[in-house]
Structure 1
Amino acid sequence: MIDQPDETAPADEDEALVAWEAMVAGSEKTLSQTEIDRLLDVDDSKSVRTRSVIDQIVNSSFVNYDRLPMLDVVFDRLVRLLNTSFRNLTSGTVEVTVQQIASVRFGDYLSGIPLPSLIAVVRAEEWDNHCLLTVDSELIYSIVDILLGGRRSDPAPIDGRPYTVIERALAERLIRTVLKDLGTAFSPLSAVGFACERVETTPQFAVITRSNNACISARFQVALDGRGGCVSLLIPYATLEPIRDLLLQMFMGEKFGRDSMWETHLKNELRRTSVDLSAVLGQAQVSLTDLLAWKEGTQLVLDMRPDAQALLTCGHVPMFVGEMGQRNGNVAIRIDADLGAQDEVIHGLLQR
């Protein structure tokens, strides 16, 4: 078979050459967009690349993590707790560090889980939602070797075989330890308990939310006497929604949220503040037409008896009621009942 010569390329080159000669000669001919694209060696794939960039921006896996700064404090507290718990579990030298904290899409996290691994589907009881805890094979084999008295110098090889019953039991013990410390780390913010519902080895069976939903991913590196592995925690933003306002707070000293000592001191100082009390002897409701018709000498009739009690107010807050009289030549009110609005007045002052 004789190959026919390709006549398309020479034709394109001739058209481009003609367009170039016309432009150089100062011809009045206006170049079309196609001729300009051929001169610049630009094809229609640029629009495709533009659309792909837009799609990448819209479907980006990056979510602003800085809007939940208190999570850094929670994870730092979790690291300290895990160091103590793993040390008590293995009776050896343990070092837990935060390797990465990032915001990812749930589908991207599932596709990036190294296999084989154990994926625990965890339920946050008080928040009524789920999260994932992943333990990789290196950490599982290291825990099994250490707890069963194996050598602590050489890491166990990763052969990709299914986990045995003993390995799963020891790994679930490790998972329960991590979940207990995770609940303790969140305890200053909110009382929550994490319970392991099931343990999966296939990521497709551990779906707890939509693939494009935003989640917080925290990866912890565990070093156990020259070996170790990683533990990954994935918390969807929907799971953290009940305590989102608390997670937006900034870390202050060793306390979470507001400073109770400063608030108590401020309340004590406010109690020494002088405030104005108004005695309301009577009230009447009139129309605006009657009010505009008032003249000098107009009398306002109040439906009040001589023994009626006066109302003491601070601003618009009713405070006390009492009987009006005289004392040492001055008008006085004897308080007969406390309306219990002192806390409301102090709260209003604090808001200002």
Structure 2
Amino acid sequence: MSGDPQEEADLDAAWGAALGEAAAAAPAATPAAPDAARELNQAEIDSLLGFDSGSDRRAAAQTGIERIIRSGLVSYERLPMLEIVFDRLVRLLSTTLRNFTSDNVEVSIDSIASLRFADYLDSVPLPAMLGVFKAEAWDNYAMAVVDSPMIYSVVDVLLGGRRGTAAMRIEGRPYTTIERSLVERLLNVVLADLTAAFEPLSPVVFRLERLEVNPRFAMISRPSNACVLVRLRVDMEGRGGKLELLIPYATLEPVRELLLQQFMGEKFGRDSIWETHLAEELRHTEVVLDVVLDEQIMPLGAVLDLRVGDRIALGVAPGAPVRLACGPVGLFEAQLGRRENRLAVRIERALPRGGRPGAAGAATQVTEETAA
């Protein structure tokens, strides 16, 4: 460092000017008063609430993996005949509810979906009434859910409410005995139509067992079991609501093969033209009937030693009944006789299908020649 007094003076002046500018800018950088209003930005709000700004990007990146995992948990199958059954239910229910309510009722299907039983219970809009019913022939259970707007609409219609006005909803209280009784009558009507809808496919009777208002008391299946959910919308001139039917796949298992088949019209998979043609062709089919006089068990060596002119003694007396057989199946018991110059048999009775099988045609030839 040089000892020139002029240079030292210039340096001191420069440092002094710099310090003066810093002191002048200091008041502007002082923090605001504690009572001053301060707004949080989106990043600070996400941090306080426990969200991360990059969570959306990560969720989008994991969407494919989540779909693969979820698709591997439960494999749902499409049941074509079940859709026809519910279409028939809608037609029946529209007419039945018109007679039940004496009002103009329109019933339509919102959706038919497959989901887990626990997922549906978590999504039930409360308050609602859950009707547990049993399929008698299939020995298993299903569930019908009536939401709150539908309950109040049915009560209003059946108790003489004016048309064209929405039903009054009083939330925050349990359902009364009258409301439960009217909903029970509604569910009995729906189950009767559901029984009629399944009648062409498989005879079954659906019987209502109980009404629940808490989904925890309506556990008819394991939480992870697959179910079919049918959402029905009921409109009654400005009033109405939703009616949902939840049927586990385990309940439909006895008729699973019938629900998987294709269909033609209302015959539910049957073709009457082909059935008639097949029946006519079967009646014209030719079959060979064997007259079995007797059956004997012989060693193979004795059969190989048979020569022309050898005789085989029958173990039956003359006039004993013979059997008529078609292949290995015995059909009738008959008496052997003669008509003009031909041998003939007269059928006496039918043999049970579990009877002894008939003999071969070659054995019949030998025994007939011996009898002659």
TM-score by length of 1: 0.73
Residue in structure 2 matched with residue 290 of structure 1 by the alignment:
302
String of CA shifts for 1:114-156, please: whole Å, max 9, x gaps: 1111111112223221110000111112222222333433434
Residue in structure 2 matched with residue 172 of structure 1 by the alignment:
184
Q: Distance in 1 between matches of 2:233 and 2:219?
A: 24
Deviation at 1:337? 1.2
Which of these residues, 41, 61, 76, is aligned with residue 63 of structure 1? 76
1:149/1:325 CA distance change after superposition, 3 Å: closer
1:74 pairs with 2:85: yes
CA RMSD in angstroms, aligned pairs only? 3.1
1:83/1:310 CA distance change after superposition, 3 Å: same
1:254-333 to 2 correspondences below 5 Å: 254-256=266-268, 258=270, 263=275, 266-295=278-307, 298-330=310-342, 332-333=343-344
1:309/1:90 CA distance change after superposition, 3 Å: closer
Q: Distance in 2 between matches of 1:50 and 1:70?
A: 32
Partner-residue secondary structure (3-state), 1:305:
coil
1:46/1:294 CA distance change after superposition, 3 Å: farther
1:213-232 to 2 correspondences below 5 Å: 213-232=225-244
> Residue type matched to 2:317 in 1?
R
Contact kept, 8 Å, 1:94 with 1:224, in 2: the verdict is yes
Partner-residue secondary structure (3-state), 1:239:
helix
Q: Distance in 1 between matches of 2:339 and 2:192?
A: 67
Q: Distance in 2 between matches of 1:268 and 1:49?
A: 59
Q: Distance in 1 between matches of 2:102 and 2:198?
A: 26
Q: Which moved more, 1:186-195 or 1:158-167?
A: 158-167
Deviation at 1:224? 0.9
Contact kept, 8 Å, 1:322 with 1:333, in 2: the verdict is no
Residue in structure 1 matched with residue 132 of structure 2 by the alignment:
121
1:240 pairs with 2:252: yes
% same residue: 48
Q: Distance in 2 between matches of 1:45 and 1:156?
A: 43
Q: Distance in 1 between matches of 2:60 and 2:307?
A: 84
Q: Which moved more, 1:194-203 or 1:147-156?
A: 147-156
Partner-residue secondary structure (3-state), 1:189:
coil
1:252 pairs with 2:264: yes
Q: Distance in 2 between matches of 1:323 and 1:200?
A: 71
Deviation at 1:199? 1.2
Partner-residue secondary structure (3-state), 2:100:
helix
Deviation at 1:52? 4.7
Q: Distance in 2 between matches of 1:255 and 1:55?
A: 40
Deviation at 1:206? 0.8
Larger Rg: 2
> Residue type matched to 2:260 in 1?
L
Q: Distance in 1 between matches of 2:135 and 2:68?
A: 36
String of CA shifts for 1:258-283, please: whole Å, max 9, x gaps: 45676466435533443322222332
Q: Which moved more, 1:252-261 or 1:44-53?
A: 44-53
Q: Distance in 2 between matches of 1:73 and 1:315?
A: 44
Q: Distance in 2 between matches of 1:297 and 1:270?
A: 42
Q: Distance in 2 between matches of 1:50 and 1:73?
A: 34
1:148 pairs with 2:159: yes
1:53/1:254 CA distance change after superposition, 3 Å: closer
Q: Distance in 1 between matches of 2:167 and 2:335?
A: 88
> Residue type matched to 1:318 in 2?
G
Which of these residues, 105, 112, 123, is aligned with residue 101 of structure 1? 112
Residue in structure 2 matched with residue 193 of structure 1 by the alignment:
205
Partner-residue secondary structure (3-state), 1:240:
helix
Contact kept, 8 Å, 1:317 with 1:341, in 2: the verdict is no
> Residue type matched to 1:97 in 2?
S
Q: Distance in 2 between matches of 1:340 and 1:261?
A: 33
Partner-residue secondary structure (3-state), 1:198:
strand
Q: Distance in 2 between matches of 1:340 and 1:217?
A: 52
Residue in structure 1 matched with residue 221 of structure 2 by the alignment:
209
**Where does structure 1 lack aligned partners over 5 or more consecutive residues?**
1-43, 343-352
Residue in structure 1 matched with residue 345 of structure 2 by the alignment:
334
Contact kept, 8 Å, 2:202 with 2:255, in 1: the verdict is yes
Contact kept, 8 Å, 1:278 with 1:314, in 2: the verdict is yes
1:148/1:308 CA distance change after superposition, 3 Å: closer
1:111 pairs with 2:122: yes
**Where does structure 2 lack aligned partners over 5 or more consecutive residues?**
1-57, 354-372
